[in-house]
Amino acid sequence: MAEGKEGVIPEPTLARLHRYQAVLRRLRREGALTVSSERLGEEAGTEAALVRKDLSYLRCTGQRGIGYDLDTLLAVLREALGPAEPRPLIIVGAGPLGVALAGYAGFELLGYRLLGLFDSNPARVGHHVAGLVVRHARELPETVAETGAKLAIIAVPAARAQETADLCVAAGLRGLLNFAPCPVKVPPGVVVRQMDLSEELEILNYQLTCAAHRAANPARGG
Amino acid sequence: MAEGKEGVIPEPTLARLHRYQAVLRRLRREGALTVSSERLGEEAGTEAALVRKDLSYLRCTGQRGIGYDLDTLLAVLREALGPAEPRPLIIVGAGPLGVALAGYAGFELLGYRLLGLFDSNPARVGHHVAGLVVRHARELPETVAETGAKLAIIAVPAARAQETADLCVAAGLRGLLNFAPCPVKVPPGVVVRQMDLSEELEILNYQLTCAAHRAANPARGG
DNA sequence: CTTTGTGAAATTTTTCACAGCG
DNA sequence: CGCTGTGAAAAATTTCACAAAG
């Protein structure tokens, strides 16, 4: 019944597309040339019909009776999920978490280029991390302007999260991945995604509690 | 129309409840004694009606004309989102990310107690991290049995993710927070949540692209 | 015979709107 | 009045089911 926007991909679909991408890469390494929606669904933990529905948003080019050409599908996904050229990425916060993330082995493979590691603590400025030198946070606007970076990872303590977000926005960054355990507010046009350990742990815990509960009690009406 | 299970909280609601909790803590520090659903919604980035709907799952006790008592609400949330006693938590992988996560300042506050840091690399075993000694992964089952731990964070490279997950499951762990950049498969009854940097970055990027696209093109019918 | 692609149904989640309490 | 609490409507998402294609 959604007759409005035809070029829009629902967010849950989007999240799955990334999982498909990961699965497809692995399958390709394993020598596969094609995949069926059923196989892809099984590997990605979802159902065949949903896979097809998801892929239908991409005007994808499967072959009936055979499945999807793996490389074609990967190409389509790559195009849909973002341009192929490395996207500049910045990390703000050179504490343990920031440093660990800077060493994350996946960025290059995923099409990101980690451009800088910033911190407002002078004691940390100048340290060498993952082939980069930690720079002072005040240099952030300059770097953003020079490189056209749009994405940053916030890896600072909760107490500094909001000011860091403000700094990023002022510097011209437009997408923030916030690892601080508290939400931050940003003006319209800026997007934040919360990587909240606590939230994930709680959901995990809840799901476990639910499962255990369901195993113990047969039902529970209000 | 969902007349089936009455004691079940939808997952999106659950995720928001955690945000509410964070907001409420901040508001309390700021001296507030009560909140209205509208205020809470504004702070948490959602709408008043949805806040009330969410809270209605908890049989919460707001006062009409006034709002919700902040401390009462926090108590209700704490009870709903998990028992008050510290839940044991284990980290598998003592590389940079595992170490950083071990130093994460929020676990205690959130009701978790980090019990152990494990690694299968002998070179890392014995190192002191965040007040803990890194132990060999083979000791994992023992620790799980002794402490009744159910939750673990997987912080290993992608290539080791699946075997690590298998190890955790075999050891008796039931909820896994996977930081490795690839999904893992687990048997039924075990819950995994993917903390996928790449996925989040891609979604962020997509949202930005969308926003930019929408600003440029007015519409795009099929 | 297998598998895609897709309307339509079913389900889930959000928004609306308002009765009812303080 | 202001604000909660909650059915009912609306919207979004997933599942179903099947025609069409190789």
pLDDT tens readout for residues A56-93: 999 888 999 999 999 999 999 988 887 657 789 999 99
Nucleotide lying nearest to B56, CA to C1' measure: D5
pLDDT of the residue at A219: 43
Task: Please tell me which residue of chain B has the smallest CA distance to A220.
Answer: B7
Q: What is the mean pLDDT of chain A?
A: 85
**Beta bridge partners of residue A119, listed in sequence order:** A136
Span A132-149, mean pLDDT?
96
pLDDT of the residue at A180: 85
Report residues 31-50 of B contacting strand C, contact meaning Cβ closer than 7 Å: 46-47, 49-50
Domains and CATH numbers, chain A: 11-81 (1.10.10.10), 87-199 (3.40.50.720)
User: Higher-confidence residue: A48 or B1?
Assistant: A48
Nearest Cα to Cα of residue A60 among A78, A33, A83, A84: A78
Q: Is A6 on the interface with B (CB under 8 A)?
A: yes
Give residue-wise pLDDT tens across range B79-88: 888 665 778 9
Q: Is A156 on the interface with B (CB under 8 A)?
A: no
User: Higher-confidence residue: B194 or A171?
Assistant: A171
pLDDT of the residue at B221: 36
For A50-108, the DSSP string reads HHHHHHHTTT---BTTTBEEHHHHHHHHHHHH--SSPEEEEEE--SHHHHHHHT-TTTT
pLDDT of the residue at A185: 81
Report residues 169-188 of A contacting strand C, contact meaning Cβ closer than 7 Å: none
pLDDT of the residue at A47: 92
Q: Do A106 and B221 touch (CB under 8 A)?
A: no
User: Higher-confidence residue: B99 or B168?
Assistant: B168
pLDDT of the residue at B200: 79
pLDDT of the residue at B219: 43
Q: What is the mean pLDDT of chain B?
A: 85
pLDDT of the residue at B4: 40
Q: Do B103 and A82 touch (CB under 8 A)?
A: no
Q: pLDDT tier at A207 (50, 70, 90 boundaries)? A: confident
Nucleotide lying nearest to B40, CA to C1' measure: D3
pLDDT of the residue at B3: 38
Q: pLDDT tier at A220 (50, 70, 90 boundaries)? A: very low
CA atoms within 13 A on the CB side of B142: 7
Q: Is A188 on the interface with B (CB under 8 A)?
A: no
Span A40-68, mean pLDDT?
92
pLDDT of the residue at B137: 97
Sort residue A134 into left (φ over 0), alpha (ψ -120 to 50) or beta: beta
pLDDT of the residue at A83: 62
Q: Is the pLDDT of residue B45 over 50?
A: yes
- Residues of chain A positioned with their CB less than 8 A from the CB of B199: 15, 18-19
Residue nearest to nucleotide C21 (CA to C1'): B64
Q: Is B132 on the interface with A (CB under 8 A)?
A: no
Residue A2 (CA) to nucleotide D11 (C1'), in angstroms, measures: 8
Q: pLDDT tier at B217 (50, 70, 90 boundaries)? A: low
Please tell me which of the candidates A191, A201, A203 has its beta carbon nearest to residue B15.
Answer: A203
b/e A145-182 (16+ beta carbons within 10 angstroms → b): eeeebbbbbbbbbbebbbebbebbbebebbbbbbbbbb
